[in-house]
Amino acid sequence: MPTISSQPALQCESISQENWPSFDLFPSDCFMQRSHWLESAWRHFHRHCRGVYSDGLTTLAVKDSDDALLGQSSWFKQFSRGIGWWRLVGSGQVCSDYVQLPCQPGSEVDVAQATAKWFALHPRKFLDAPTAIEIEGYRPSCPQWQTFINTLVDRGWTQDTVAIESTWRIDLPNNWKQYESLLSKSRRRKTRRATQMADRGELTFELVSDPQQVNEHWPEFVRLHQLRRQQLSQPGVFADANFEQFLKSATLDLASEGSASIARLLHGGSTLGMLLIFQSDATWYIYQSGFDTQRIDLEPGHMINSLMLRTAIERGIKSVDFLRGDEHYKKGWHCSPVSLSKSILLPPSLASRGISSAIKIKRNMQAWL
């Protein structure tokens, strides 16, 4: 049977690539489970967030009886709303989707059960506050998370689970004409306009994958993203300097391994739009975008997505994932939703029951309003 041990808490000021736990030991079908992504999220973002303690990082390593590593996961502690939260590195504003407890194939259930038992035995308070576990962005059908949650519920923990916004994914056919035929008439018309303009040389679509070039184009990408968000009366993620540092660091590290690119759409010598794309196996993940708000008349969103999808098919990409968010345009590209959930788990106590009731009341009031 697997056993679980807690590695010593890492000191943020002395964290290095040598002692950060390597998650690349374990296969994953999503870039958000890679070491570069998780380490950057902790180093540049999470530890700077309000209520997060720099010594609050804990890596749980699950080993079998022969001391072989089966899996590991990194969690941080955050004090918020009178509760001490355990959260996975990569959660929250980082918005990691398809979260997992990284492990060797075939060990998913054992790792989930052993990790849950560690939480069940761990002191249930820190800073004299009740403790809660929050898991966000997981597939509700995932056996690993079902096991994790059920193991705690069987020990008297309270579970509160809600659906959150879905991710949206396209399984691409082998050729562009076949994909075009799947689109609505109006979307097909806009798509053909974009591809015809590109074929005539009026538009240029390029993928920038070299880390140095990605770095050179980064300020323009940030500027276009913020312009679009501000047009929608939103602050934009790059209003937070720590978030920008996290994403830039993770992108450059993954680009050095051939797993990150910036797509650029050019018209008349100026940039109409940009996409931040990550790749895992034969899937492209569209994480962020930005557009020139002064050229909305050209519909840069439709144009860059049309040319991105055509390029993906030409390069043998099997699927494109627009990640989390139920924006209407995703359905128009013939995407299918993938359900995601968020769960809060509270240990058995009177305080936990009160917190659980308060969470449900607040959610019901927000839904009613």
Per the document, the length of the chain is: 369
Tell me which residue of 208, 211, 191 sits closest to 199, measured CA to CA.
Answer: 191
Mean pLDDT of the chain: 88
Instruction: Please list, in sequence order, all residues whose beta carbon lies within 8 angstroms of the beta carbon of residue 192, skipping any fewer than 6 positions away.
Output: 180
179-235 pLDDT tens trace: 999 999 999 999 999 999 999 999 999 999 999 999 999 999 999 999 988 887 888
| 3-167+339-368 against 173-317: fold identical | yes
For residue 191, what pLDDT is reported?
96
For residue 15, what pLDDT is reported?
31
Planar angle of CA 65, 89, 348, nearest 5 degrees:
70
For residue 304, what pLDDT is reported?
97
124 pLDDT above the threshold of 70: no
365 pLDDT above the threshold of 60: no
Residue 41 CA: distances (Å) to CA of 20, 93, 208, 324, 345: 12, 10, 23, 18, 23
Look at strands 319-324 and 283-291 and give their pairing.
parallel
For residue 272, what pLDDT is reported?
95
The arithmetic mean of pLDDT across residues 277-306, rounded, is: 94
Q: How confident is the model at residue 356 (pLDDT cuts 50, 70, 90)?
A: low
256-268 pLDDT tens trace: 999 999 999 999 8
Q: How confident is the model at residue 53 (pLDDT cuts 50, 70, 90)?
A: confident
151-179 pLDDT tens trace: 999 999 999 999 999 999 999 999 999 99
108 pLDDT above the threshold of 90: yes
Do 167 and 337 form a contact (C-beta atoms < 8 A)?
A: yes
Q: What sign does the CA torsion over 134, 137, 139, 145 have?
A: negative
The arithmetic mean of pLDDT across residues 294-318, rounded, is: 95
Residue 101 CA to residue 147 CA, distance in Å, equals 11
For residue 277, what pLDDT is reported?
98
The arithmetic mean of pLDDT across residues 80-88, rounded, is: 87
The secondary structure of 77-128 as a DSSP string is: EEEETTEEEEEETT-GGG---S----B-TT-HHHHHHHHHHHHHHS-SEETT
111 pLDDT above the threshold of 50: yes
Q: Span 173-317: which CATH code?
A: 3.40.630.30
4-52 pLDDT tens trace: 554 433 222 223 334 677 888 899 889 999 999 999 999 999 999 999 9
For residue 25, what pLDDT is reported?
87
For residue 203, what pLDDT is reported?
96
Report how far Cα 123 is from the mean position of its chain's Cα atoms.
Answer: 29
Residue 348 CA to residue 204 CA, distance in Å, equals 59
For the chain, state the CA radius of gyration.
22
For residue 154, what pLDDT is reported?
96
CATH class of the region 3-167+339-368:
alpha beta
Domain residue spans of the chain: 3-167+339-368, 173-317
For residue 360, what pLDDT is reported?
63
Residue with tokens 């950060």: 20
369 pLDDT above the threshold of 50: no
